[in-house]
Amino acid sequence: MLSCFAPLLAALSLQAALDARAAAAPGTGIAVGVVDHGVQRIYVAGGAGNGRAVDAHTLFEIGSVTKTFTATALAAMVLRKEVRLADPISEFLPPGVHAPSKDGRRITLLDLAEQRSGLPRLPTNMDDVLGEDPYSDYTVAEMYSFLNGYVLTRDPGATYEYSNYGIGLLGQLLANRAKMPYASLVRDTVLNPLGMSETGFAEPQAPDPALLAAGHDLSGAAAPAWHFQSVMPAGGIVSNLTDMLKYLRCNMGQGPLARACLFAQRPRAPGEAGHKIGLAWNVSSATGNISHAGDTIGFHADLAISRDREVGVVVLSNGPAVTDIASHVLMPSYPIGGCLSSVAAADTDASSYAGIYCNAMGAITFSVETTAKPNELAIALSPQPKLIYQRVSDDTYYAQSVGATFKFLRAGGAIVGLRLTQIGQTIPAVRLDAQGKPVVARLPPAFPPVVPLDRATLAQYVGTYALDGGSFTVTLRGDALFVQLTGQPAVRIYASAKDDFYLKVVEAQITFNRNAAGSVTSLTLHQNGQTIRAARQ
């Protein structure tokens, strides 16, 4: 008799989990669409951050799920014999642009789609890759300029490396072949055949649509929308549950474009760990499930399909994590994470770092343990194994092996949380007490308040500062100051006082030093316990 109620109980459990996840930060929400053996269900929770509740028409950035649309367009063009997967990309480049090769092996369309081209994740001529709107000003001309000068370090097709640049290039080459802009190509090839009339593209020149939810980072703070030019094919689509369920059904083998959708999913080569890769799609080696996730600074998305294509799910959010939710729908034994962790908060001594810390929006739990050495901590992102972090300054620990920094946060002298900074991301987590409850309702701000400095003062810092083997270049763009180390992209720095700045993408501070006359003569970088001084040239 109980089995009759199992779907209802599962639905109630999923809805409760969504409500709890969205409640972790006001103004955030989640939309979930499930197709289970032909039965469609929709679940929504929270708000869109713009005064509206989330519904099936709320628009979200879908990030890298866009890559699968580019792959579907490629598949459709292959099936129509307009291109071949084996075609060298040089056939689709404009005059004067050349594709690199290695040992006689040329990059093909398939290499780009499988992300095995030998091209890097991001180009080195892209500024502020970890900024608030990193792709908005990277043009097609700059994309081609990078390609012209890039030297491959391995043979095309040899090794998988996730590449936003490579998929962006693929989309532009397909657009070249079709003699139309990328957005028009995807509309004609994918969106219009599926009736996805509410889906659009986040172009810098176009106003953000009124139904676009307001993005939030994992601290719950408002995050700006992203916009795209040349890298649009890798992450620039905005869509909603209504349209994404149409796309989901296509990828479950239904509708007028089913042949292309299924062709794109076919696993062809080793991909990321534990997966094979099709045309952008990930296929689990263990379960055969097909999926692709997408993230921008303020949004998360996931689309996943069971091996037999009888169950599919799409999850969209304007801040809360969603991958565990998608996994749970396909595999109900997979837990939906949250701060009520099964890990016991064994040590809640306020003077000790040891304990359990959780970010409810991201469903991320950290366990912190002391070691026999006073300047070390063992920290794990559950359920991953723990790593050893070395103390580099007050309340700050660093692991060079993973480039991660943990900064412990205090309130009234007691340790109440932490902040992880890694690969340009900042993830805060509140400490849990012995009952698994947060010790404070709100963490201290992640960064010092920004002190406004007038443009004339900011201009005093502009220049080049010499290092052994390189230099820091400081530039002013509008009212924002950027610093760039030789061989790395420029990143924005923020004033905490006159002459004192901090970075958000890494745990680091920069002090500009003046002589007796008041002129800026050098800068000092403070990072991971090191102090590096660079003289102005």
What residues contact 78, with CB distance under 8 A and at least 6 apart?
84, 85, 263
Would residue 465 count as lying in a domain?
Answer: yes
* Residues 405 and 466 occupy one common structural domain: no
Q: What is the pLDDT of residues 4-36, one digit of tens each?
A: 434 444 555 899 999 999 998 899 999 999 999
Q: What is the pLDDT of residues 51-89, one digit of tens each?
A: 999 999 999 999 999 999 999 999 999 999 999 999 999
* Residues 153 and 278 occupy one common structural domain: yes
Q: How confident is the model at residue 260 (pLDDT cuts 50, 70, 90)?
A: very high
Task: Judge contact between 41 and 48, C-beta under 8 A.
Answer: no
* Residues 224 and 292 occupy one common structural domain: yes
Q: How far apart are CA 91 and CA 145, in angstroms?
A: 17
* In the predicted structure, residue 182 carries a pLDDT above the cut 80: yes
Q: What is the pLDDT of residues 346-356, one digit of tens each?
A: 445 556 899 99
Which CATH number covers residue 527?
A: 2.40.128.50
Last residue of a domain, one of 415, 431, 447: 431
Tokens of 319: 């801040």
* Residues 411 and 298 occupy one common structural domain: no
- Nearest-CA neighbor of 117 among 89, 96, 145? 89
Q: How far apart are CA 130 and CA 132, in angstroms?
A: 7
| Cα-Cα-Cα-Cα dihedral sign, residues 491, 487, 116, 135 | positive
Place of tokens 């990277």: 138
Would residue 343 count as lying in a domain?
Answer: no
Task: Judge contact between 433 and 348, C-beta under 8 A.
Answer: yes
Which CATH number covers residue 373?
A: 2.40.128
* Residues 71 and 209 occupy one common structural domain: yes
Predicted pLDDT of residue 343: 45
Task: Judge contact between 281 and 71, C-beta under 8 A.
Answer: yes
Count of domains observed in the chain: 3
Q: Is 338 helix (H, G, I), strand (E, B) or coil?
A: coil
Q: How far apart are CA 118 and CA 111, in angstroms?
A: 8
Query: Residue 140 CB: number of other CB atoms within 10 A?
Result: 19
Q: What is the pLDDT of residues 126-151, one digit of tens each?
A: 877 767 899 999 999 999 999 999 99
Would residue 450 count as lying in a domain?
Answer: no
* In the predicted structure, residue 154 carries a pLDDT above the cut 70: yes
* In the predicted structure, residue 341 carries a pLDDT above the cut 70: no
Place of tokens 């091209």: 119
Q: How far apart are CA 20 and CA 22, in angstroms?
A: 6
Would residue 338 count as lying in a domain?
Answer: no
Predicted pLDDT of residue 435: 84
Would residue 492 count as lying in a domain?
Answer: yes
Predicted pLDDT of residue 87: 98
Amino acid at 194: L
* Residues 403 and 498 occupy one common structural domain: no
Average pLDDT for the chain: 92
* In the predicted structure, residue 49 carries a pLDDT above the cut 90: yes
Q: What are the distances in angstroms from CA 9 to CA 5, 6, 41, 44, 224? A: 6, 5, 14, 17, 37
Instruction: Kindly state the average pLDDT of the residues 321-327.
Output: 95
Tokens of 481: 């100051």
Predicted pLDDT of residue 128: 72
Q: What is the pLDDT of residues 80-93, one digit of tens each?
A: 999 999 999 999 99
Backbone angles phi, psi at 283, to 5 degrees: -125, 120
Q: How far apart are CA 297 and CA 189, in angstroms?
A: 28
Q: How far apart are the first and last CA of the chain?
A: 80
* H/E element, 525: strand 520-527
* Residues 390 and 326 occupy one common structural domain: no
Of all residues in the chain, the percent with pLDDT exceeding 70 is 95
- What angle do the packed helices 164-178 and 66-79 form, to 10 degrees? 40
* Residues 422 and 469 occupy one common structural domain: no
Which CATH number covers residue 159?
A: 3.40.710.10
Last residue of a domain, one of 315, 330, 345: 330
- Helix ranges (DSSP H) in 382-481: 455-459
Would residue 437 count as lying in a domain?
Answer: no
Last residue of a domain, one of 398, 431, 464: 431
Instruction: Kindly state the average pLDDT of the residues 148-174.
Output: 97
Q: What is the pLDDT of residues 296-311, one digit of tens each?
A: 999 999 999 999 999 9
* Residues 425 and 460 occupy one common structural domain: no
Q: Give CA 229 to chain center in angstroms.
A: 17
Q: What is the pLDDT of residues 96-116, one digit of tens each?
A: 999 999 999 999 999 999 999
Q: How far apart are CA 461 and CA 41, in angstroms?
A: 56
Give the residue numbers spanning the domain of 371: 355-431
Predicted pLDDT of residue 126: 85
* In the predicted structure, residue 342 carries a pLDDT above the cut 70: no
Predicted pLDDT of residue 10: 56
* Residues 166 and 72 occupy one common structural domain: yes
Q: How confident is the model at residue 423 (pLDDT cuts 50, 70, 90)?
A: confident
Task: Judge contact between 71 and 260, C-beta under 8 A.
Answer: no
Of all residues in the chain, the percent with pLDDT exceeding 90 is 81
Q: Specify the pairing of strand 300-305 against strand 311-317.
A: antiparallel
Would residue 293 count as lying in a domain?
Answer: yes
* Least confidently predicted of 226-235, 435-444, 493-502, 518-527: 435-444
Q: How confident is the model at residue 445 (pLDDT cuts 50, 70, 90)?
A: confident
Would residue 229 count as lying in a domain?
Answer: yes
Tokens of 146: 């990078």
Predicted pLDDT of residue 4: 42
Predicted pLDDT of residue 350: 57
Query: Residue 351 CB: number of other CB atoms within 10 A?
Result: 7
What is the widest separation between alpha-carbon atoms in the chain? Answer: 86
* Least confidently predicted of 120-124, 237-241, 322-326: 120-124
Predicted pLDDT of residue 351: 66
Predicted pLDDT of residue 339: 65
Predicted pLDDT of residue 349: 59
* In the predicted structure, residue 531 carries a pLDDT above the cut 70: yes
Report the chain's C-alpha Rg in angstroms: 24
What residues contact 264, with CB distance under 8 A and at least 6 apart?
68, 71, 72, 74, 75, 278, 279, 280, 281
Q: How far apart are CA 515 and CA 505, in angstroms?
A: 29
Tokens of 381: 């992102």
Q: How far apart are CA 42 and CA 32, in angstroms?
A: 6
Q: How far apart are CA 438 and CA 170, in angstroms?
A: 46
Predicted pLDDT of residue 12: 57
Q: Report the number of secondary-structure helices (H) and strands (E) in the chain.
A: 12, 31
* Residues 69 and 199 occupy one common structural domain: yes
Q: How far apart are CA 121 and CA 134, in angstroms?
A: 14
* Least confidently predicted of 300-309, 333-342, 356-365, 414-423: 333-342
* Residues 89 and 20 occupy one common structural domain: yes
Q: Is 89 helix (H, G, I), strand (E, B) or coil?
A: helix
